[in-house]
Structure 1
């Protein structure tokens, strides 16, 4: 049996979905300095042995349609929005705290410093708003985050 016959005998198999790697972000709006997941060294390595550790990207790797939808939304919210990096991190940290999203809170607490938040301000996102002297614009964002996290309408005027 010649090589041609052997090639015809074995049907080609599509690549296994777990073997695919996501393409690096090609958008110029991806800014590695703010911790984009495709940028090396921007995210701290999570502990591998923590019981109950959330593996967001591992889960997404097994669900390509969900991964595409989630990463498209994240791209818009994180890299194409109108908030500054500092404002964005304040909103993410406050919303994660209010909704009990410890995975998101811990991940964004780790990169908040590169967006202009000091450790005192980062910690204050998990406290009552009156306990920290927020600037008026930042206080409005945090109040809006609280209202939306509670399923309430935005306060007027905002």
Structure 2
């Protein structure tokens, strides 16, 4: 199967074939050496992904591998995927904490309260401020952090470790 074909999309066709019973083993053979295509092909049900510059021996090995029910991915693509997989995952905690550096001390206190599920009225009572001031702090926090709602703020507070 190719990614791009004259009258269709190989990824969609692969996905449709994967719904058949018995399910055919599809190998994607393409010139498009992009990680998003590899991932999309595998998610669509392909058991192999080869680039068109693969040797005849690699193509034959992929067909035989698919016939056995195994998978084969182009060695060049495999190396790249393994490098990406081996990279350390980004530290969500430090990324979230870094985002919070734009907040004032009081805004951080309010964010902790939001993360704890408190309403503006409850924040005002807990932090000894008016409800209007609590609401203003929440609005500023959302704006400074480019968040759309309190749920996103609570998630970010949790990811930053403020609620531990």
- What TM-score, normalized by structure 1, do the two folds share? 0.24
- What TM-score, normalized by structure 2, do the two folds share? 0.23
More strand by share: 2
Which structure ranks higher in relative contact order (CA pairs < 8 Å, sequence separation ≥ 6)? 1
